[in-house]
Chains A and B, each alone.
Chain A
Amino acid sequence: MNTNFQGTAEYVASEQLMASVNIAIALKKPLLVKGEPGTGKTMLAEAVAKALGKKLIIWNIKSTTKAQEGLYVYDTIQRLYDGQFGEEGVDDIAKYIKLGKLGEAFDSDEQVVLLIDEIDKADLEFPNDLLWELDQMEFYINETKRTVKAKHRPIVIITSNAEKELPDAFLRRCIFHYIDFPSKEQMEEIVKVHFPEVEENLLKQAMDVFYNIRAIRDIRKKPSTSELIDWVNALQIGGIPTDKIRATLPFVGVVVKKDEDLEVVRQNAGQL
């Protein structure tokens, strides 16, 4: 099996990013990925899983997520309910212990890729609550006196949008990679991965306008890779003649989402 991540046919990774993934695997540390929205942080885990032929387990973090949920949940209500109706096996607590995503990754019979997506969404203390588990790759279930230990250390990829500062103790244990916004050459490669048939001229015009919009100073939300991909798609489907792209900015709402930004783009239309 392939143990070295080299990007995939669908995911264009920079050399540095590939190196970061491989080093995180070699050093057995979680890889923390930061970057502008739309630079493909979440996609990375999918690509790694695919390239290495491993199963991907995704743990989506929300503002209400607690660390405990990732380990296991003891479904007391179900047990109480079953108890009232005299169901079988109520005295077996293990039946009511449901492993969370992290538990699932530990308990898996083969090595998996675990994506902890948008860890910064959760409570400030959340990452600290996982320190031991990520370090030792084990946790203890109080109710059944059982220790769940990782059979194969999962490859852990953590993404963050930098909405909150992560605690130092947590950061110390990670390998960090910041995904830069792709350069024009990389971007071209990325778009072509999605649309191998795209017409050269259309792509060039669309990319020029896209990078010019990003360069306007007053733009609040800079359009990202995914927006460019949507735009190129829209332009292709709409069958817009390439010479009209710059002049009329068709479907510009796909690229720029805020009212104020649309206004700014229109004002600067002459320079795009």
Chain B
Amino acid sequence: MFTKFFLSLREKGLHVTMGEFLTLQEALDKGLCGSSLTQFYYVSRMILVKSETDYDKFDMAFEECFKAAQKETEVSAEMLRWLDKSDMMEMAHEEARDHLNKMEGEGQMIDKDDVEQKFKQRLKDQDSEHNGGSFWIGTMGKTSFGNMGGNVGGVRVGGKTGYQSAFAVIGARKYRDFRDDRVLDNRQFQMAFRKLRQFSSRLDVPESELDIDGTIDKTCNNGGCLQIVMKKPRKNAVKLLLLMDSGGTMIPYSSLLNDLFQAVHKSNHYKDVKTYYFHNCIYNKLYKTPECENGDWVDTEWVFRNIDSDYKVIIVGDAAMAPEELYSTTGNYRGPNGGLSGYEWLQLVKRHYKKVVWLNPKMAPGRAPWREAETAVKEIFPMYKLTVDGLNQAMVKLMVNK
């Protein structure tokens, strides 16, 4: 029964096992779902899904399999994906409202029923992705549908609330925020950083721990007269160099970075942690404080000399430099460049340190040719999105040898 549902769940990346599926069958057998679809939804979810982070995936699979049983106006997951353009937000924010509303002459008062009518109609007809148009459901457009549009008073379909003016939100996937590929916060950071451990007892520290096995052996050999054996404590040998972007485009992520910073410092099991800041891109100075004030800096070359190559380097930044900031030898308007372009400085970092990862809070998924700088940086350093998944992958990358 419902084999297709089972397969679809696994396809969506949910690791549903046979055992769990049989439990669901048992529940059906016992009549625990009644004969209602809603009841079935909750029962199957509580049996098959074991984390709220997976609710969203489950919702999508459920929608796919039982679409026909749902109401017609349900927004398909595919359409929501077309509309999920949160990164266009910055571009859109400034101009969209003024620009589009100026162009739109027609009625200020919008008839709710009329909008809903048209919405249903278009939901049926639309078969592709639209951004910036004036008829279909899409982003940044001026129809009454879609999101981030300039139109006041329409139906917002998914996405983040842009202008707070949509009078209805259809298909807001309630558990989307729980997905573990979302940008992460707080203590999940700390859990991820625990991965970064490399125990070593070959440290230059005194023998200060009781070696129980050794003591027992020695004591037995000594005819039962206690003879204590000490050993060197096993300590984490990982040293960390944290380089954080504190440029203007990073401001929306300031509390996220704050959390990351706190997490690193709370994980006090590192042998050493050094933190420096940069503005947009790394040049020949690194700042000591996130304010990046002129003069309050050290030479990047000094860092190379004094912080050895066995430090593991985590660079946090959005890699959203303008091309000239990356490629021009005069690209840095904040201070001296040292005669090299940002790109060359990044190459130097890569050459000096064995293990470097770049964490990006707003990395585009897959290839993103329109983000020139990001693509270029990705070629130098392995880049991960600043999410639970991404951070875990980055930590693994820092630990394994090649």
Contact = CB atoms under 8 A, between A and B. Distances in A.
A177 B46 contact: yes
A147 B398 CA distance: 48
Is chain B's interface secondary structure helix, strand, loop, or mixed overall?
helix
Interface string A1-29: 00000000000000010011011001101
Given A19-B39, A23-B32, A26-B32, A176 B50 contact: yes
A19 B50 contact: no
Contact of A172 (B19, B55, B187, B255): B19
Interface string B4-25: 0000000000010101100100
B27 A172 contact: no
Is chain A's interface secondary structure helix, strand, loop, or mixed overall?
mixed
A251 B47 CA distance: 43
Interface in A14-52: 16, 19-20, 22-23, 26-27, 29, 32, 34
A203 interface: no
Interface in B20-76: 20, 23, 26-27, 30, 32, 39, 42-43, 46-47, 49-52, 55
Given A34-B52, A175-B47, A16 B27 contact: no
Interface string A138-177: 0000000000000000000000000110101001111111
A172 B17 contact: yes
Interface in B127-154: none
A187 B345 CA distance: 56
Contact of B43 (A19, A32, A163): A19
Interface string A223-245: 00000000000000000000000
A32 B191 contact: no
A164 B46 contact: no
A4 to B, nearest CB: 12
B50 A26 contact: no
Contacts of B55: 178
Contacts of A188: none
A218 interface: yes
Nearest to A166: B50
B275 to A, nearest CB: 20
Contact of A176 (B39, B46, B187, B191): B46
B26 A27 contact: yes
Contact of A26 (B15, B30, B51): B30
A178 B59 CA distance: 15
Interface in B163-199: 186-187, 191
B27 A23 contact: yes
A175 B46 contact: yes
A206 to B, nearest CB: 25
A16 B32 contact: no
Interface residues of A, number: 24
Nearest to B259: A220
Contact of A218 (B19, B26, B255): B255
Nearest to A24: B46
Nearest to A180: B174
Contacts of A172: 17, 19-20, 50
Given A32-B50, A174-B50, A175-B46, A26 B17 contact: no
B46 A23 contact: yes
Contacts of A32: 50
A243 B286 CA distance: 53
Contacts of B50: 32, 166, 168, 171-172, 174, 176
Given A19-B39, A175-B47, A177-B46, A27 B52 contact: no
Contact of A16 (B23, B42, B186, B191): B42
Nearest to A31: B46
**Most chain A CB inside 10 Å of its own CB: which residue of B32, B43, B51:** B51
Given A29-B23, A34-B52, A163 B187 contact: yes
B191 A27 contact: no
B42 A19 contact: yes
B52 A26 contact: no
Given A20-B42, A23-B46, A218-B255, 10 more contacts: A20-B46, A22-B32, A23-B32, A27-B30, A27-B32, A172-B17, A176-B49, A176-B50, A178-B55, A220-B186
Which 9 residue pairs spanning A and B have beta carbons closest together?
A171-B50, A178-B52, A176-B50, A175-B46, A20-B46, A23-B32, A16-B42, A176-B46, A172-B17
Interface of A: 16, 19-20, 22-23, 26-27, 29, 32, 34, 163-164, 166, 168, 171-178, 218, 220
24 contacts: A19-B39, A19-B43, A19-B46, A20-B46, A22-B32, A23-B27, A23-B32, A26-B30, A26-B32, A27-B23, A27-B32, A32-B50, A163-B187, A166-B50, A168-B50, A171-B51, A172-B20, A173-B19, A175-B46, A176-B49, A176-B50, A177-B46, A178-B52, A178-B55
Interface of B: 15, 17, 19-20, 23, 26-27, 30, 32, 39, 42-43, 46-47, 49-52, 55, 186-187, 191, 255
